[in-house]
Homo-oligomer: A and B are copies of this chain.
Amino acid sequence: MLVCVLGLMLLSGAGVASASVRNYWVAAVPVTWNVVPNGHDAMTGTNYSTTDTVFPTIVYRRYTAHWRRVLPNQPSAGGNQNLIPGPLIQARVGDTILVHFLNRDRLYDRVHSMHFHGVHYAPSSDGAYIPGFSGRGASVKPGQSFTYRLRAGSDSVGVWPYHDHSQSMEDSIAGGMYGMLSILGRHERAPDREFEVVFAPQGQFQTIDDRAFVGNTPVFTAFTGQTVQWDVMAMGSEHHTFHVHGHRWIGADGVPRDTQTVGPAESFAIRWREQDPGTWLYHCHVETHMMAGMIGIYQVKRRRS
């Protein structure tokens, strides 16, 4: 059992260049979620009561082999919360990824699935409900499990969404059933810090990783000299513009950028070598979204010498 867990961790570690099969054990589980844990929008001073911010929902959660024990959804470096988004699926080009999914939705007793962007798979691992065509992996019943077999090709490098694509899709995504894959090249160097930013609505709020307002959204941290990577995606029905203060990156047109559109299920990874110490804002620049909570803090400290 100990060996099994260690083996899993080795296979899952993005730094292991020779790994070829990575196993992820994921379950859909009920949780109680608070979109605004501190009950407060620090920018405007508005307070929110828990009747507006707390609700039961279903999330993707990472486990050790055979769903024995919970694991954090994100590696410690990220600074993300550990329930939403779901487990960060990390792999390298050439790897096979086996995602063992167990539906533990005793809350709504709904079918669920996982549909993965960016990787290769046979139709049986598509995880998307198509009347008359899709199979068991598109409609995993409560109490049942399904293993999705994915392959990271050379055209899988980057970051990608995954999400429920069963008949329950609309409710599940609204409830937070989404996460990301992060695929590196075979010999690509991993960043020192990797931050997941998911823009999605949540009731009256606009959230980052399903949390709203400075003080509730993730506080990402780095030291000067570190390579930081931002994994950005959107879920829902709206387009957003990702902006980080005091920083920029090379845009699609080869020219620098500090604001970039991301629509539903679009995703991109941004990297830079950090050299600007300070307390900075990152946010969606759609004004109504920013005002409804889609904003957070990024803290860069000078490297200790």
Residues of A that sit less than 8 Å from B by CB: 42-44, 115, 117-118, 120-123, 126, 128-133, 155-158, 160-161, 167, 169-170, 173, 214, 235-241, 243, 245-246, 248, 250-253, 255-256, 258-261, 263-268, 276, 278-281, 285-289, 291, 297
- List the 9 closest pairs (A to B, CB-CB), nearest first: A123-B278, A265-B285, A252-B253, A155-B256, A252-B252, A241-B263, A237-B288, A261-B263, A133-B279
B260–A126 touching, CB < 8 Å: no
A261–B266 touching, CB < 8 Å: yes
Residues of B within 8 A of A158 (CB): 255-256
A297–B241 touching, CB < 8 Å: no
Q: A131 contacts which of B169, B214, B255, B278 (Cβ < 8 Å)?
A: B214
Q: A214-B131, A265-B243, A281-B128 are in contact. Are A237 and B118 (CB under 8 A)?
A: no
Q: A253-B268, A265-B285 are known; give 16 further A-B pairs, CB within 8 A.
A: A42-B132, A43-B129, A43-B167, A117-B243, A117-B258, A118-B256, A121-B246, A126-B245, A130-B297, A170-B291, A237-B286, A239-B261, A239-B263, A241-B265, A251-B252, A259-B263
Residues of B within 8 A of A276 (CB): 120
Q: A123 contacts which of B122, B260, B279, B289 (Cβ < 8 Å)?
A: B279
Residues of B within 8 A of A239 (CB): 239, 261, 263
How many copies of the shown chain assemble into the complex? 3
B251–A253 touching, CB < 8 Å: yes
Residues of B within 8 A of A267 (CB): 259
| Bound form: Cα–Cα A265–B158 in Å | 25
| Bound form: Cα–Cα A286–B132 in Å | 24
Q: A43-B131, A128-B281, A255-B158 are in contact. Are A287 and B264 (CB under 8 A)?
A: yes
A123–B280 touching, CB < 8 Å: yes
Question: Which residue of the partner chain B has the closest CB to A134?
Answer: B279
| Bound form: Cα–Cα A121–B245 in Å | 10
| Bound form: Cα–Cα A266–B255 in Å | 13
